[in-house]
Structure 1
Amino acid sequence: MKRYDPQKEEILSAGIDIGTSTTKVVISKFSLMNMAGGTHMPRIEIIDKEILYRSPIFRTPLQTRTSIDIEAVEKLVKQEYQLAGVSPSDIKTGAVIITGETATKENAQQMVHQLSDHAGDFLVATAGPDLEGIIAAKGSGAYEYSKKMGKTIANIDIGGGTANAAVYKSGRLLGTCTLHIGGRLIEFNGGTIQSISPPILKVLENMGMSLEEGDRRDESKIKKITDFMADSIARMLNRNVSEPDLPLLLGHKPNWLEDIDAIMFSGGVSECLYEHEEHAASQTQYDDIGQMLAASLKECKALLEWEWVTPVETVRATVLGAGTQTTEISGATIHVDGRDLPLRNLPVYQIPFGHQLEEGLSRISQAVEEALDVYDSQREGINFALYLTEIPYLGFRDVQTLAHALMDAVKTKPKTDQPLVIILESDHAKVLGQTLKTVNPSQTVICIDQINVEHGDYIDIGNLLQTSVVPVVIKTLTFHH
């Protein structure tokens, strides 16, 4: 990019998905541009996303049934970067997401953080079943379909270990739910059963059926299980999870209120339904229940009551979502010290002002204490971000008053030398950041705006780009054991 033209910029993004069955890499290019007129305050937006490289689909390397082969995953990613013609230093944003049963492995957390540190300047580590569902719905096309058609659509991303549902209407997330349903929950070695996952053993017990590792492959018994899985998905979509379904439930029950108009399937099992991938693109061969589960989905009368929408992507939905849909761009009028970036895994504590300055000021001190109790209970110096919402119009003196209140409140933090991170809904980041520095010149301040987060989210803030904005990724970090 030309240095004298800060109105445009191109950055590279990577998506890396390490799933129960497969690992995939996608490299994308984002085009950023100032969409405000010459006399207006800059507003930098992502105007185009182009996928530059899609890796083959690899079998996820495992050392044992309980641990990932970290060295093999890193070697695989390095190899794909070379084939794509990029180096880690070229990557400015994106996400490494660990999905399904892989997130339960004993070294899952170590692996995803280690990979995010080595695979790019700002590649964030993400995990958690709800986030998997959200990212997959964006990669599959369900999110865009909901915006375009105005319908309520559920995307069900079924991989090797989990079925992650995310429900959208008109581009708005209504809710999520995850079930232990996937192609690798029963694996075979030729004609015998090699492994059965614990949730499926519980289902078998409830059904009064006996199936054990080492038993011969009994197609009729296994079809009963995959039919039950398909029916369970239908009950989940109807918000009618029953007692027999509970062993399959991972986390909370369905939490949307609206009835669903249409459904879309993505993930490895949906590839068995739609066969989008060319055979050469996949280097994986399976000996599991994936094909039988796909057949059960197609035959399930309860699922056929909904309109089925064909996905844009099947097995690559999550990796494309991770690489192209996780990044947001901050406002251009921000205050950051580039030496303190990137910042990763900052929990967010919200302070609502209720559109009244005095009301908000009265909450700041207690909010910082509560944030310390929640996120740094041992007072080890774990940092967090304060998210100021519903701020009224602020005059010059109001900004000074707010800055003094924030500086007084954070004096109780155990490490006063760590950056003070403020996120704003409104366009006050630059003036507030500069005022905070005036109040205490020794305090490092990161103050950004035009970002919408939620209380309890985690936020990663990337390096300052040439267009004077920072890439931001909002996420959850849940390694379910």
Structure 2
Amino acid sequence: MGEQLLSVGIDIGTSTTQLILSRLTLENRATPFTVPRVSISGREVLYRSAIHFTPLLSDTVIDAAGVRTIVEEEYRKSGFDKTQVDTGAVIITGETARKENAREVLSALSEFAGDFVVATAGPDLESILAARGAGADEYSREHHTTVLHFDIGGGTANLALYRNGELVRTGCLDVGGRLIKMDRGSGQVTYVSPVFVRAGCPAPAVGQRVTPETLQPTLQIMVEALEQAAGLRPGRDRLDAFLTQGTSWTVEEVPVVSFSGGVADCIDNPPPDWLAFGDLGVLLGLAIAASPAFQKAGRFRGAETIRATVVGAGSHATDLSGSTIFYRDITFPLKNIPILKLAAGEEGGEPEKLARHIRDRLSWYRDQGGLVQLALALRGERNPSYRRIQEMAQGVAHGLAPLVEAGFVPIVAVEADQAKVLGQAMAPLLPGPLLCLDSVGVDNGDYIDIGAPVAGGAVLPIVIKTLVFNKS
């Protein structure tokens, strides 16, 4: 049996907060004469918390103390002490990632987080985490098909399109279960999101008593927006009305759709009481289930729905970079750096095209404070010419310019053995610190730690933290 780690995942979403404790078994799959390659060989869920409503002090302020109380109580119920936990992740997702005090919440949980992966996930990153948590990426890869995954929570519906297992694009719609809240006893409306006014969508007024019938026009338009996003309904008028600010979405008809999030539970297993949660969630799930367009499309149902974004944490796969690396003015170590990986087809072409793809993807890891430090992962090319290396250097340098302007270090991780020459070509184009390393295989949603050089400066120790999703 390999080494075992106790891992915790804490997910703080728009509507719900939850925690999961797992035992991860790690095995070194390398031969005795090569660099260790540690991967997860087993995962056992030891404790699932109750699903709590995320405590809020107002529409824009999370109750940090309330979140901490939930986490403390769930640790107590689990029978585990925080000192027993080896690794983990805390992810703030959905509209809560845009609340005024998300960083304060992370600070309140600092003693539970230790050296964990800690992130506020904007809609793009949340789309990736949810799709991977539900297994949409694996289904797309194994069935050689295109899957559009919808993660529908309280405030938003996050979209992730996978083609043959590769992430193609992400998007976000203002469609969610808690955009309208009602008193569970009387059905009287207590909150209506301003989204409906902006979208030109009919919605009840605060104080109005509603029924499933009176809410039907609102629900129908929300479902039509989702159908248009999947190319299953002509036009894009509904889609455009509900796209979140700054989001664009290219429509194509998809053969397979999948769902996760709280609303997804209500598609297949709705509670008998439509006011069970005091919001639109149950009725929205029923409306999606009744949609002829979604019934016509193929549907993959992941093992996880509401828990799809709950991550256990990273398998710490220790590795060494290749020996053809380039670094300048770097202060080591670098810790918890999220990975941004382009699709294979986005790496080729002219420098301007490569730069545009990189700039488009930078927003995936943008939080409420703007861009964050990240590492760009490339596959590289076999036996590229000197001219091609120069073109790649120009495209990468121009693409990462916004990151440099924000005060961050340009970090490039290349799977192929060409980081040194790429770094040398980039050096005249980018002032200040620069790091290019090779022989590193990572994916979107991974995080890496990079240690100080060893072996006379020839290689860098790397810890790859692969977020672990509960799909059982």
Question: What's the TM-score bracket when you normalise by the shorter of the two chains?
Answer: 0.7 to 0.9
Q: Which of these two proteins has the greater Rg computed from alpha carbons?
A: 1
Partner of 2:319: 331
Q: Are 1:249 and 2:230 counterparts?
A: no
Q: In 2, Cα distance between the equivalents of 1:196 and 1:187?
A: 7
Partner of 2:189: 193
**Cα shift at 1:41:** 4.0
Partner of 2:465: 472
Contact 2:410 2:435 in 1 (8 A): yes
Matched residue type, 1:348: A
Partner of 1:212: 205
Matched residue type, 2:412: Y
CA gap of 1:350–1:311, structure 2 versus 1, over 3 A, is closer
Matched residue type, 2:89: A
Listed as ranges, the gaps of 5+ residues in structure 1 are 2-7, 427-448, 475-481
**Cα shift at 1:470:** 1.6
Contact 2:380 2:418 in 1 (8 A): no
Greater alpha carbon shift after TM alignment, 183-192 vs 91-100: 91-100
CA gap of 1:340–1:309, structure 2 versus 1, over 3 A, is closer
**Cα shift at 1:88:** 4.0
Q: Are 1:122 and 2:116 counterparts?
A: yes
Q: In 2, Cα distance between the equivalents of 1:309 and 1:343?
A: 32
Contact 1:25 1:55 in 2 (8 A): yes
Matched residue type, 1:387: V
Determine which of 266, 289, 292 is the counterpart of 2:283.
292
Task: Name the SS for the 2:282 alignment partner.
Answer: helix
Q: What is the alpha-carbon root mean square deviation over aligned residues?
A: 4.1
Greater alpha carbon shift after TM alignment, 99-108 vs 14-23: 99-108
CA gap of 1:469–1:48, structure 2 versus 1, over 3 A, is farther
**How does 1:167-182 map onto structure 2 within 5 Å?**
167-182=161-176
Partner of 2:218: 225
Partner of 2:66: 72
Matched residue type, 1:166: A
Calculate percent identity across the aligned residue pairs. Answer: 32
Matched residue type, 2:164: S
**Cα shift at 1:297:** 1.0
Contact 1:176 1:255 in 2 (8 A): no
CA gap of 1:37–1:243, structure 2 versus 1, over 3 A, is same
Contact 1:338 1:463 in 2 (8 A): no
Q: Are 1:202 and 2:191 counterparts?
A: no
Q: In 1, Cα distance between the equivalents of 2:174 and 2:422?
A: 48
Larger helix fraction of residues: 1
**Cα shift at 1:23:** 0.5
Greater alpha carbon shift after TM alignment, 368-377 vs 117-126: 368-377
**How does 1:73-472 map onto structure 2 within 5 Å?**
73-112=67-106, 115=109, 118-189=112-183, 190-203=186-199, 206-207=200-201, 209=202, 211-238=204-231, 242-250=236-244, 251-255=246-250, 259-275=253-269, 286-319=277-310, 322-323=311-312, 329-332=317-320, 340=333, 342-344=335-337, 346-348=373-375, 355=383, 374-377=402-405, 382-389=407-414, 392=417, 413=432, 422-424=436-438, 426=439, 449-452=440-443, 459-461=447-449, 470-472=463-465
**Cα shift at 1:118:** 4.2
Contact 2:153 2:177 in 1 (8 A): yes
Task: Name the SS for the 1:79 alignment partner.
Answer: helix
Q: Are 1:24 and 2:24 counterparts?
A: no
Partner of 1:441: none
Q: In 1, Cα distance between the equivalents of 2:427 and 2:171?
A: 42
Contact 2:157 2:174 in 1 (8 A): yes
**Residues 6-35 of structure 1, C-alpha deviations (whole Å, 9 max, x = no match):** xx4333332211112111111223222221
Contact 1:164 1:178 in 2 (8 A): yes
Task: Name the SS for the 1:470 alignment partner.
Answer: strand
Task: Name the SS for the 1:195 alignment partner.
Answer: strand
Matched residue type, 1:340: P
**Residues 271-296 of structure 1, C-alpha deviations (whole Å, 9 max, x = no match):** 1223399x9xxxx9521111111121
Contact 1:352 1:389 in 2 (8 A): yes
CA gap of 1:35–1:242, structure 2 versus 1, over 3 A, is same
**Cα shift at 1:180:** 0.9
Q: In 1, Cα distance between the equivalents of 2:196 and 2:395?
A: 44
Q: In 1, Cα distance between the equivalents of 2:110 and 2:291?
A: 40
Greater alpha carbon shift after TM alignment, 268-277 vs 348-357: 348-357
CA gap of 1:459–1:45, structure 2 versus 1, over 3 A, is closer
Q: What TM-score do the two structures reach when normalised by structure 2?
A: 0.73
**Residues 359-381 of structure 1, C-alpha deviations (whole Å, 9 max, x = no match):** 69879998998699533537xxx
Q: In 1, Cα distance between the equivalents of 2:219 and 2:393?
A: 54
**How does 1:3-14 map onto structure 2 within 5 Å?**
8-14=2-8
Task: Name the SS for the 1:125 alignment partner.
Answer: strand
